[in-house]
Structure 1
Amino acid sequence: MLLKKLEKMEQRIQQLESELKQKQDRPVADANAKRTARTASLTSANAAASSTDAKDATAKPEDQKTEAQSSSPSAKPKSKDFMALPPLPTASDKPILGVADSPVPGLSLGAYGEIKFGSVQNPAAGGQWQKGFDAARFVLLPTYAITPNIIFNAEIEFEHAGAGFDNDDKLHGTAEIEQVWIDFKIMDQFNWRSPGVDLVPIGYINQHHEPTQFYSVGRPELYNGLIPSTWKVPSSSVYGTISEDVKYQVMVSTSNEDFGDSFDNRTAAKTVPLPGTPYAAGIDGVNALGFSRPPLGDFQQLNNAVAVSGRLDVTPTFLPGFAASVSAYFSPNTTPRGAHDDLGNFLGKSSLALFDAEFRYRVPDTGLELRGEYVRADFGHPENLRANNDSDPTNNVGKSMYGYSGEIAYHVPLGTVLNSEWEAVPFYRYTYQNLQTAGFAGTDANLPTGQGQRQYHTAGFAVYPSPKLVLKATYQRVIDKSATGALSDSFLGGVGFFF
């Protein structure tokens, strides 16, 4: 009888070992490492060592690798522990939204999004405070490892609660492809990203724009026009690692365009409206480059110019906790076909050069974090920009635009709440922008309003119940040199997630 029990026990052990081996051998590609690499850049929600934070802070989507899901092999059971099984994978190990195994090896699906609410001043209503709500965005992040060295990536975004505007549903939003490309992983020093829709490698938040990456409810002010985040373009690029401390990316893309009007105002010849019909500028002294991004579909581009951009990411090993980047963009011509002033005169070419430098520093062994950034745009022949020839002297553009910001934050551990480690990050950020410098010429009068010269005082706190979730509260004071002042202060709350 005892021998039979021992025999059954041995059979049970063999069965359990066989099941464990099958789980270990089943290849589930961890293509979601792309999203994990971007998450790792979040210094606000990670209390890990500062040197590790600095390395991770510049991790880019191209750092992803396809790996098999693994767990530690179990030793032969002893005594009554022979029934014990290895622990289940944590949520972060799950490739489908962090909660489920992938039904297809190599497939993963992430998501990020943000909800905003609060009270803002409306300049169009004389600065009246108005309460509001915005389901700002929900983004799906599908990734598929075609092979270990060929990786498909995409971002599918729904903004402002939907893709329609009907009386019955009260929606006013968009659905769009924010990114879609295939990476060919050749070697550490050189890799190729196929033609597709990608982000111009300018600035940090432009490429890492998920709401867990910044502390304010809204994106930092430099990324609301001066850098037109999310700056997506038809493009192709190469990238790689120069050394342990330096990574690079070089991109060719469709050029931005000085056309900010609707598709209805493009002609069948892919030109702006004929002379005599006004149209909105894509580059102006109030919105900067916010409306100049090139169209992505149906061969609707209005010029043939090809832009070039590049970026260097630096994480010096001799300075733990520090990460920085420098980047630049150049287009030889932003003028669309048929561009004209309001008098019917055709406009010549105007080039655009943009430069950005930024840093992030989490001081080792403290909760202190510092960030800083400088952005400058220079225009060749600004007299040919539409804003200087549209019969509106209040939005004129000079030879350049620039802005800078400085931010200080402090990470405060809150202890364990609801079975997770919480952290609070109070912060303050100062930003200055000048979008209406001197040196413009055109048919419009030289009457800058001062509206393009703005200061932003942004303060608040972000609470992280998890590195994947953030609760925010922000007060912003806006000052400009116009006669009335900005009249656009705000008290906002927000919820953001990224997993």
Structure 2
Amino acid sequence: MIRTISTVIGSFYIIASATSFAAENVPSIEELWSIVQSQQAELEQLKQELERSRSQTQTVEVRMLENSQRIEAVGEVIDQPGRLRGNSWADRTTIGGYGEMLYNNETSSSSTKELDVQRFVLFASHRFSENLRFFSELEIEHSFINDDARSPGAVELEQAYIEWDYAPNHSVLAGMHLVPMGIINETHEPNTFYGVERNRVESRIIPSTYRVNGIKFAGQLGSGFSYDLDIHEGLFFESGNGGELSIRDSRQSGARAEMDSPAYTGRLRYTGIPGLELGISMQYQGDMTQDGSTRGNIGRDGVIDMQGNPVSDISGLLSEAHVTYRTGPWGFTALYAGWDIDNKIENVANNDLSNNGLGRNKQYGYYLQPSYQINSKLGSFLRLERTNERAGSNSGAAKNSATNRTVVGLNYWLADNVVLKFDYQFEDDDKDRDIDGFNLGLGWQF
């Protein structure tokens, strides 16, 4: 076909030359042949370029098909749980921790000025399979421990449990864990809450950090609802020398814990609206004396009344409700917790037979806390608290036992997991033991 095109073009030039009377220089046959050869070469080049273009197009189409097949293959791998996760021991193990250093200026007593590494916690977890995990936390409080009374420190196992997803959206754990109640008890890393110290309600009424041995079921119910059901060691009252009847000092913390009377905790939460959490929980224990147990090998004295007679069968019910809401820079938190304890506790005495239980059948606390995020680094808050650990009576040692506290302060996040804190507290104690002062804190998590 190329030869035919060349002949036609050549003929055209010959005819054009013969009919052009104005042309003064008519090309020779050799010149015309040269022109035809040049044009034929150009056509051959165009043909080769066209073939190369077709080849490249086909190559692109093949590669697109291959890539599509690869994408589909990757998608199939992604759809298989766990295929993209590492399978080595290191890939399935996580190490972390948190801690805080605090300075208290006349906030625990009118003459106390303290600088303390209050806690340092190491966290380790391991994933055995897609539905079986281990979690643990080991805590050091107040830097060090020894036999010297000047050393208030402790080494404590805060968590150590196995968790198993026995069904979609449902799990069970067994071991040392945190009681599902309130806000701070389960989430208390210093970069996650406002204020240098934890609020008084979730320290004295809910004795955070409230850790126990037991078995807990948890799951999602749909539409933003979740549940927790917990069977665990209970509190252990004893007469002692004065402080042992407080809720906080009655924790067993998994240390050879008495199980004559376990505790039962249930919680229901709603998080179906962005920024909102509603929670309600209850804990019941049939006998907070653990059947009147006395165990000298671990320093448990049992419970006696003012005549020295043993006391048992003191039941207790703890109820708690809270709300947290965040919209834009504004935040709001409110929590109420209260104990209803058998009236027998009012007759409980110390070891010296002086009354220690008066008014302890009713205990409560609540707080309100608005907050405002000034910018991405700086946040402010105001917290109003009221607690009463002997609200069942207003006579004798229980008279004027309520405490009101106002705390205002700032959090400054150096990074998401590192925070500087400042707050000032105004305390109005019904016994006129008001303690006003300020706190500074440095907290971290990794």
TM-score between both structures, scaled by the size of structure 2: 0.74
Deviations 1:84-122 (A, max 9, x none): xxxxxxxxxxxxxxxxxx972300011011110141156
Which has the larger share of helix?
Answer: 2
Q: What amino acid maps onto 2:143 in structure 1?
A: A
- Equivalent residue for 1:354, pick from 302, 318, 329: 318
Larger CA deviation: 185-194 vs 327-336: 185-194
- Equivalent residue for 2:364, pick from 380, 402, 409: 402
C-alpha distance in structure 2 between counterparts of 1:136 and 1:204, whole Å: 20
Cα 1:251–1:260 shift into 2, 3 Å: farther
State whether residues 198 and 234 of structure 1, in contact with CA within 8 Å, keep that contact through their aligned partners in structure 2.
yes
Cα 1:122–1:405 shift into 2, 3 Å: closer
Report % sequence identity: 25
C-alpha distance in structure 2 between counterparts of 1:423 and 1:122, whole Å: 29
Pick 1 or 2: higher relative contact order, CA cutoff 8 A, min separation 6: 1
Say yes or no: does 1:206 pair with 2:185. yes
Please tell me whether Structure 1 or Structure 2 has the larger radius of gyration of its CA atoms: 2
Partner of 1:467: 416
Deviations 1:424-476 (A, max 9, x none): 11110001112222359xxxxx4145453010101110011222111100111
* Deviation (angstroms), 1:171: 4.4
Partner of 2:194: 215
C-alpha distance in structure 1 between counterparts of 2:173 and 2:333, whole Å: 29
C-alpha distance in structure 2 between counterparts of 1:406 and 1:342, whole Å: 39
Alignment of 1:115-194 (within 5 A): 115-121=101-107, 123=109, 127-128=110-111, 130-166=112-148, 171-194=151-174
Partner of 2:385: 431
C-alpha distance in structure 1 between counterparts of 2:143 and 2:124, whole Å: 20
Cα 1:122–1:402 shift into 2, 3 Å: closer
C-alpha distance in structure 1 between counterparts of 2:284 and 2:136, whole Å: 25
Cα 1:480–1:395 shift into 2, 3 Å: farther
2:201 match: secondary structure: helix
- Equivalent residue for 2:210, pick from 206, 222, 231: 231
C-alpha distance in structure 2 between counterparts of 1:478 and 1:312, whole Å: 33
C-alpha distance in structure 2 between counterparts of 1:238 and 1:221, whole Å: 28
C-alpha distance in structure 2 between counterparts of 1:191 and 1:212, whole Å: 28
2:209 match: secondary structure: coil
TM-score between both structures, scaled by the size of structure 1: 0.66
- Equivalent residue for 1:492, pick from 439, 442, 446: 439
Q: What amino acid maps onto 2:233 in structure 1?
A: T
* Deviation (angstroms), 1:132: 1.4
Deviations 1:232-267 (A, max 9, x none): 111111111001301111000111011375xxxxxx
1:291 match: secondary structure: helix
Larger CA deviation: 391-400 vs 144-153: 391-400
Deviations 1:292-314 (A, max 9, x none): 112523x352x600110011121
C-alpha distance in structure 1 between counterparts of 2:305 and 2:355, whole Å: 13
Deviations 1:471-493 (A, max 9, x none): 100111111111xx223333110
State whether residues 387 and 396 of structure 1, in contact with CA within 8 Å, keep that contact through their aligned partners in structure 2.
no
1:382 match: secondary structure: helix
Partner of 2:271: 315
Cα 1:118–1:434 shift into 2, 3 Å: closer
C-alpha distance in structure 2 between counterparts of 1:107 and 1:197, whole Å: 19
Deviations 1:41-65 (A, max 9, x none): xxxxxxxxxxxxxxxxxxxxxxxx9
State whether residues 239 and 348 of structure 2, in contact with CA within 8 Å, keep that contact through their aligned partners in structure 1.
no
Say yes or no: does 1:341 pair with 2:341. no
Q: What amino acid maps onto 2:402 in structure 1?
A: Q
* Deviation (angstroms), 1:398: 3.9
Deviations 1:380-427 (A, max 9, x none): 2334663589644576334311111100110011xxxxxxxx511111
1:344 match: secondary structure: coil
State whether residues 179 and 232 of structure 1, in contact with CA within 8 Å, keep that contact through their aligned partners in structure 2.
yes
* Deviation (angstroms), 1:322: 1.1
Q: What amino acid maps onto 2:377 in structure 1?
A: E
Q: What amino acid maps onto 1:382 in structure 2?
A: K
Partner of 1:294: 252
**Any unmatched runs of 5+ in structure 1?**
1-23, 25-64, 71-101, 262-278, 414-421, 441-445
State whether residues 121 and 487 of structure 1, in contact with CA within 8 Å, keep that contact through their aligned partners in structure 2.
no
Partner of 2:48: none
Say yes or no: does 1:112 pair with 2:98. yes
Q: What amino acid maps onto 2:165 in structure 1?
A: K
* Deviation (angstroms), 1:282: 3.0
State whether residues 214 and 220 of structure 1, in contact with CA within 8 Å, keep that contact through their aligned partners in structure 2.
no
Alignment of 1:37-56 (within 5 A): none
Partner of 1:60: none
Deviations 1:202-247 (A, max 9, x none): 1011111111121100001111210100001111111110013011
State whether residues 345 and 358 of structure 2, in contact with CA within 8 Å, keep that contact through their aligned partners in structure 1.
no
Cα 1:229–1:221 shift into 2, 3 Å: same
Cα 1:464–1:295 shift into 2, 3 Å: closer
Cα 1:280–1:449 shift into 2, 3 Å: closer
C-alpha distance in structure 1 between counterparts of 2:413 and 2:319, whole Å: 32
Say yes or no: does 1:381 pair with 2:327. no
Cα 1:295–1:245 shift into 2, 3 Å: closer
Residues matched between the structures, number: 358
State whether residues 404 and 433 of structure 1, in contact with CA within 8 Å, keep that contact through their aligned partners in structure 2.
yes
State whether residues 337 and 364 of structure 2, in contact with CA within 8 Å, keep that contact through their aligned partners in structure 1.
yes
Alignment of 1:254-333 (within 5 A): 254-259=233-238, 261=240, 279-280=241-242, 282-284=244-246, 289-297=247-255, 299=256, 301=258, 304-317=260-273, 320-333=274-287
C-alpha distance in structure 1 between counterparts of 2:353 and 2:167, whole Å: 54
Cα 1:250–1:385 shift into 2, 3 Å: farther
Cα 1:388–1:481 shift into 2, 3 Å: farther
Q: What amino acid maps onto 1:496 in structure 2?
A: G
Cα 1:374–1:300 shift into 2, 3 Å: closer
State whether residues 305 and 334 of structure 1, in contact with CA within 8 Å, keep that contact through their aligned partners in structure 2.
yes
Larger CA deviation: 242-251 vs 336-345: 336-345
2:101 match: secondary structure: strand
C-alpha distance in structure 2 between counterparts of 1:211 and 1:119, whole Å: 19
Give the RMSD, CA atoms, in angstroms.
Answer: 2.8
